[in-house]
A and B are shown apart, each in its own frame.
Chain A
Amino acid sequence: MEKVLEVKDLHISFDIHAGEVQAVRGVSFDLYKGETLAIVGESGCGKSVTSKALMRLLPTPPSRIKQGEILFEGKDLTKLSEKEMQEIRGAKISMIFQDPMTSLNPTMTIGKQIMEVLLKHQKLSKNEARNRAIELLQLVGIKNPELRIKQYPHQFSGGMRQRVVIAMALACNPKVLIADEPTTALDVTIQAQILELMKDIQKKMGMSIIFITHDLGVVANVADRVAVMYAGKVVEIGTVDEIFYNPKHPYTWGLLASMPSLDHKDEELYSIPGTPPDLLNPPKGDAFAPRNPYAMKIDYELEPPMFKVSDTHYAATWLLHENAPKVEPPKVVQERMRQFALSSGKKGGEFRG
């Protein structure tokens, strides 16, 4: 498969008065053409920072890309000038943000905001841009687009605004669409609609999507591959089936176990004990060790490398080392795994919001 984007050993730090916060500590992943890669993890695990770094949208200072490469179309995005980045942003890589209520300019009409990106990147006349904006609004399922382009964001509902944001992101047929929790701020029913829309558009336009979320239900619904992040690192990456049916990292187990399910009403919901580490002083060894019921002595000494599980599946846990004792995932996860296996031909189980 063709690689569209390649992230290699990305390190990002924020210099604040208390010291250096190592928000991203060596993230690597590839993005293939036409696929959806989900990046999941708790708040503060560095998933949003990673996604903004891909677009070079982090304010510098305080942020700084310490090392690593972001390869896109043969160029290292970390080395490009601001001017060169502007040519890429919105045209080749575009982004959708979490809160549609605040991500549109309140004093500019929807039409102008969509046309702006078209006029910036494509040689269009104003009229052509307007027609294209109307087409785009139609594409994202907004009725009466001729009328709607003259309206301001506050005249749209949250879901409709997110559709507008998507239209804006798609305007120049980007190769990569980064969606930073695009459904988190929306109602469950609207969430489902937006997810359907995104899948639909991906089918039509064939771009790759990086989907940032903390909601495993959404992941199961949209993703082809999943990267699980913890404390600024990718701890497990694999196809959606591998992550859901055959997770290897105890953190992934914890995440899966804490996912609510309609079939188990009386069961107490599992929660991962403790809190994520302070990235101002990242701990020695495996950052997850203090919260890991399967922790071994080595977890406090050495950072685990990425162990290969299959060609597409890697996990960073010492449990995969040949010397490690054989452990069984928690019962809940085992059961859940079985349950996922049972749930019909649907890839990755059904969407549960």
Chain B
Amino acid sequence: MSDIKLPIYLDYSATTPIDPRVAAKMAECLTIDGNFGNPASRSHSFGWTAEAAVDLARQQVADLINADPREIVWTSGATESDNLAIKGAAHFYRKKGNHIITMKTEHKAVLDTCRQLEREGFEVTYLDPRENGLLDLEVLKAAITDQTIVISVMHVNNEIGVIQDIEAIGEIAREKRIIFHVDAAQSTGKVDIDLAKLKVDLMSFCAHKTYGPKGVGALYVRRKPRVRLEAQMHGGGHERGMRSGTLATHQIVGMGEAFRIAGEEMATENERVRMLRDRLYNGLNDMEEVYVNGDLDHRIAGNLNISFNFVEGESLIMALRDLAVSSGSACTSASLEPSYVLRALGRNDELAHSSIRFTIGRFTSAEEIDYTVDLVRAAVGKLRDLSPLWDMYKDGIDLNSVEWVAH
């Protein structure tokens, strides 16, 4: 235990370190000795070599998701991909209808994009998930109108790690001829994605959650049946006019290599990560008043989002300074609101405030998990000794029956 390096990184859903193999490939595309050319340069070998590297990366990304490389549009990340997909489709198909359906638990990149479209006159329905975080397909069906043009549902939730049934949602959308967008920022390398089978029209990706660099992503745009988008970034007509801007060869090469590795190592990596996650879960699960947020079965291997009742999240984060984790507590966010994702699951404010997200990844060790278990147990014990709510719970007082003076 003495050779553990602190703090321990358990925030792989926020971002991942770049795999050294990826960094090596990226480094080859920077300097005068390397592949630094503009992939759009047609008149010399510098451009051709850069274009070849971009083409290889495009193939590598397409391979992971079983798509055609011509269906990949490079972007700056999943936020841009979400914007391009939702705004692009809504603007292009606005003559067909003005209604968009999404979920309350989506990432802000989707929610805020939808808010913008509302300001432009579109109608948006924000669906509640079930208590386990998953979408009820009947609720979705009931929300569809003859004006619905886009459904946007994320594949894997960033906070609670639950996996939505995008196969079933795709069937519903296709039958009604509605464009189906999926934010898959959190799912590459964690869940199999087969776009030859899935009836998904648009899918957002980024590199940095899958051991690639920040600042690069992609949007999958289906060719058959063809999906049209209105460009959001205008300029030199790159990426078949859907997204102008000089391609960042080193970033794109990094994303390609990261996705190649993900495809090759996903099965063994998921098994190892799941073993570590279960070790963490089993180490904490026998404590009193702990609640896992979101469905445990339909969930990626590396996520454990858990609430420690009667302990406030920020003070817990403070006690866990040797861990890099995130909290649904209001105090850790700029907004001073507890996690909207946990609130959408119907979790009360106390449990939302008490939540910690542990996300485990490629470089996490069993020793780090054991250290984490000991640290969390001690910290929760200490803070409960300090907590008047814990005393009241122990005295059998129902906290909902107390008249609190809100401030």
| Chains A and B are bound partners | no
A residues near B (Cβ < 8 Å) are none
Binding site for A on B (CB under 8 A): none
